[in-house]
Structure 1
Amino acid sequence: MNTKKNLLKISAMVGLLFAFTKLANAQSPNIYVCDEGTVTLGYVNNEYALEVGDKVIWVKWDEATGTSLGGSIEKTYNGSDSDVNFEIDGSSLTTNGEHHYRMYVIAVDPNSCGSDLSDPVEVYKLPNLNLALSATISAYCEALDDNPETSQPTQSEITATTTPDEALPAGILLEYAWSAEEAVGGPADIALLGTSTDNSTTATELTNTFTMTTTTVGVYEFSATVKYAALAADGTTKIKGGCETSVPEEGKQTVEVTAKPGVPSITVS
């Protein structure tokens, strides 16, 4: 059995094991998580295969002081890589921002030799999201008129604005979805009512706009949701847990499409 101290690396995954290498002077976390997400840290080392009885010790690490924050978690290898995985539930992280972890191995035989500490992995806890709607106007006419004496709008813009509990790191992507109901008739086909801004794949967008252009007379109540995308803007860093947030019931926006009066006639007497 090889008892030399080995440099270990940590991988992060949910369901499957994904390797993340912490590069020197890296600016971004290895993975993001929100309250609903789970991150799994796992063991990988091409130079040392775990043997039954080996112990993998997980420690939360203070990068500023270079010391453990205490409360290590011990996992014993019984023949499966999943035996030594360490799961982090997003809701268990009581503060938003950076959380660092390292690990090491204590060999079962012959002398309980311990490895060096692994490189650290950074898990970044994202804040809760809050969503509100606002509309440019609450009613518009079903059609344009040809009367130079009047001017009337024929569309309304409803804007969804996201307010995180704390500022988001650069590159965190958000995904918006819209829905609407008619006052008479129930759920409406949102695609027939207008169009919304495309979700950004390159930058954090704290607003999204739905432009309502339907000419079907009626009263429509709009709602929206926002959640974290599965990947950050770099296309590789994972975000665990969408943490979808809806507009509060009292925050939904109502817009009415009103009927255009018919062309009047003049009587002469």
Structure 2
Amino acid sequence: MKTKFKSLSLIAITFLLFALPFSSSAASFALYLCGGATAGLIPDAAVNATLKSGDKIMWQEFDAAGNTPIGSPSTVTVATDGTPLPFTVGTGLSVGAHYFKVFIIAVNPNNCSGDLSDPFSLYVLPTAAVTLGTPSQTSFCEANSNPTVQNSVITATATALDAVLTDVTYEFTWTATKDAGAVTDVTTIGTIGAVNPVNVNSFTLNNTAGHGAYIFKAAVKYVVAPGNGVLKSPSDLGCPAESAASTTITVTPKPGKPSIQIAP
């Protein structure tokens, strides 16, 4: 059960919350949230094993500098020995970095306060969106026909990310239609470029594509580098977003090679 902590222990709380400042310079976060996802936090297993019914688990958010508490501490009261209820984070948090600390108060018999934890860091990601720029060419000739420009580049730009996020990137997926029919594999008609910077990707429709009218879309989702923090998103899909359709790119047929005949 979550309640505001009683004033009788306010002195202990104030001392603990200010006793251990921490740095907010780290580029990696333990948890990433997007799309309104939430996560439950609990103390480690060794501490959980010592919890008794009625003990209070005190959670507090700090500012980025780690010096000033944000809001009031929240209390999760232990209902069953050794089984803490999770403290839910995510709801109501703004986009950006957030830092939490926790400590335990053993209510019986003397309201003894434990040590304050190291900070737990999380980052709320912005709502993902992706837009397509104007193609570099809206038409060109197929194969080895003149003029010499025989490709078109489309650039997809997703929502910008904070430069501090070294573990998070976007995964881009490109789809296309040719003459209103789906292209099964877009790599057969062009080349997907490297993601650079983290929110920009391009597709080059090249001259090996058959003649026709091509329309593209790009989709993005969040991914976290393996071995780093945990990403929480609705249905664990990475908060996907898709662009509107691109301007049509027309690949014009190359005229056939004629043979010379004597006119009748």
TM interval, short-chain normalised? 0.7 to 0.9
Tell me if structure 1 keeps the 8 A contact 2:52–2:80. Answer: yes
- Measured after TM superposition, the shift of residue 131 of structure 1 is 2.0
- Measured after TM superposition, the shift of residue 161 of structure 1 is 1.9
Picking from 205, 222, 226, the partner of 2:220 is 226
Residue 93 (structure 1) aligns with: 93
The Cα offsets for residues 111-142 of structure 1, whole Å up to 9 and x where unpaired, read as 23222322222222222343222321112222
- In structure 1, distance between residues paired with 2:115 and 2:105: 10
For residues 118 and 45 of structure 1, do their structure 2 counterparts lie closer, same or farther at Cα, with a shift above 3 Å needed? farther
- In structure 2, distance between residues paired with 1:161 and 1:245: 12
- Measured after TM superposition, the shift of residue 159 of structure 1 is 1.5
- Measured after TM superposition, the shift of residue 265 of structure 1 is 5.0
- Measured after TM superposition, the shift of residue 230 of structure 1 is 2.5
- In structure 1, distance between residues paired with 2:139 and 2:82: 60
The within-5 A match list for 1:1-269 is 27-28=26-27, 29-44=29-44, 46=46, 49-62=50-63, 64=65, 66-79=67-80, 83-89=84-90, 92-94=92-94, 96-134=95-133, 135-145=135-145, 150-164=146-160, 167-171=162-166, 172-186=168-182, 188-199=184-195, 204-213=197-206, 214-231=208-225, 235-241=227-233, 242-249=238-245, 252-265=246-259, 268=263
Counterpart code for 1:34: C
Structure 1 alignment gaps of length 5 or more: 6-21
The Cα offsets for residues 171-225 of structure 1, whole Å up to 9 and x where unpaired, read as 132211111123333454323222212457xxx5232111223432221110001
- Measured after TM superposition, the shift of residue 43 of structure 1 is 0.6
- In structure 1, distance between residues paired with 2:124 and 2:222: 12
- In structure 2, distance between residues paired with 1:185 and 1:228: 28
* Partner secondary structure for residue 70 of structure 1: strand
TM-score (norm 1): 0.72
The Cα offsets for residues 128-167 of structure 1, whole Å up to 9 and x where unpaired, read as 343222321112222113xxxx424332222212242x64
- In structure 2, distance between residues paired with 1:54 and 1:187: 60
Counterpart code for 1:237: G
Counterpart code for 1:243: C
For residues 63 and 127 of structure 1, do their structure 2 counterparts lie closer, same or farther at Cα, with a shift above 3 Å needed? closer
CA RMSD of aligned residues (A): 3.1
Structure 2 alignment gaps of length 5 or more: 1-11, 13-20
- In structure 1, distance between residues paired with 2:83 and 2:252: 61
* Partner secondary structure for residue 57 of structure 2: strand
Tell me if structure 1 keeps the 8 A contact 2:23–2:66. Answer: no
TM-score (norm 2): 0.74
Counterpart code for 2:105: I
For residues 260 and 31 of structure 1, do their structure 2 counterparts lie closer, same or farther at Cα, with a shift above 3 Å needed? same
Matched residue count: 235
- In structure 2, distance between residues paired with 1:80 and 1:265: 92
- In structure 2, distance between residues paired with 1:34 and 1:120: 21
